[in-house]
Amino acid sequence: MNKLIRIYKSIKFERIIDFLLYLIIIQIGIFCYVLLINNDRVELNGILEIVLTVNGLFSAILITYFFSNISWAKSLKLEKYKEAELLSQKITNYRRILNKLTQYYNVWINDVQSKSLLEHNDNYKRITYYEFRMSGISDYISESEENIERLRDDINYSDVYTDAYLAIVSLVHDRKNDRLYYSSNDLYGDFERKGIYTLPFVEQVIEIDHCSMIWNFFDRYDILHFNRISMENQDYIKNCAKKINIKYNNRSVDANLIKEISDDMNEYYFPELHSLLVFLAKGLSKLDNLIYLLILFSLIIGVVSPLICLISIDFRFLTEAKCCIITLNICALIYFIINFHSMIVKEIKWI
């Protein structure tokens, strides 16, 4: 009994109402069909002509409204796409900064435990920080699991320098890609498609707090000799930082700068881009799907089927077919009337 009560409470009230309404519509449909099939005085062809005319007009109105909605949605998505491009460009500039931090030897305090270990050992070249971190905080098992365990047992492994370098270089390059790493400083191509970052990549960055972990390494440890970065590369880093946000203009290239940018990436840029990508990935809204189905139903059952019945020669089940078509159109009309209010509310309700 208690189980039944829990099941009852778990069912939404709106679903119960919908079920009852559908049941009523089905009952009305059965009643109409029986009434039509057993009433010889009803002129079925006359009713079909009315159904054909009404549905023709109804379909035209719905199609106009549907494509108007699609046009508006396309314009909105184009606007959101441009916003996603702008955020992606800022993230790319962040990756360019990190690239300069991993591009040269003698910049890291311990190259043996960072750059040399992860870039010159074939067992570790394809390990990503996402795989590495997920294997340590969850039951996640990746294709690199054996190499991850081998890395943790390596004599040169350091939970500071190795982890920090892997975190940074995994944002700079797609380590699953076999192409040469430093063919270009632009960093276009990795993780991007048509100018914006892919949703799976952004979700992985957010899932493991990737930028927050980079902030943590620079906050807790001295891992780089910033004074060994050439003046040319320092100017490059400053320029990239300024492109991300003007507040970084004329800042010194040091741990504080990397921390602040990483924190902004973690708190704003990646979450905001994620929201935009989720929006861009959406197809038709529930309302547009409903209108699309109504258009299909109206054209097939309300226009094409009545027209076929009207021009067809008499056959055995023609009367039954006409009654079915009329009944279905009556049920569709009742369904539309019942849902008309909620359709209007969905159209004007934005939040």
Measured between alpha carbons, how far is 186 from 149 in angstroms, rounded to an integer? 33
pLDDT number for residue 59: 85
Measured between alpha carbons, how far is 131 from 204 in angstroms, rounded to an integer? 10
Contact 48, 306 (CB under 8 A): yes
pLDDT number for residue 322: 81
Q: Which residue has the higher pLDDT, 57 or 44?
A: 57
Both tokens assigned to 350: 């934005």
The identity of residue 105, as a single letter, is Y
Q: Give the residues across from 63 on adjacent strands.
A: none
Task: Compute the average pLDDT of residues 207-228.
Answer: 93
Task: Compute the average pLDDT of residues 76-87.
Answer: 93
pLDDT in tens, 150-195: 999 999 999 999 999 999 999 998 888 765 444 455 565 667 677 7
Residue with tokens 């409204």: 65
C-alpha torsion sign, points 170, 175, 180, 186: negative
pLDDT band at 210 (very low <50, low <70, confident <90, very high): very high
The identity of residue 232, as a single letter, is E
**DSSP 3-state of 196:** strand
Q: Which residue has the higher pLDDT, 256 or 333?
A: 256
Which span out of 26-35, 105-114, 321-330 was modeled with the highest average pLDDT?
A: 105-114
pLDDT in tens, 271-296: 999 999 999 988 877 778 888 888 88
Contact 165, 159 (CB under 8 A): no
Both tokens assigned to 145: 């699991």
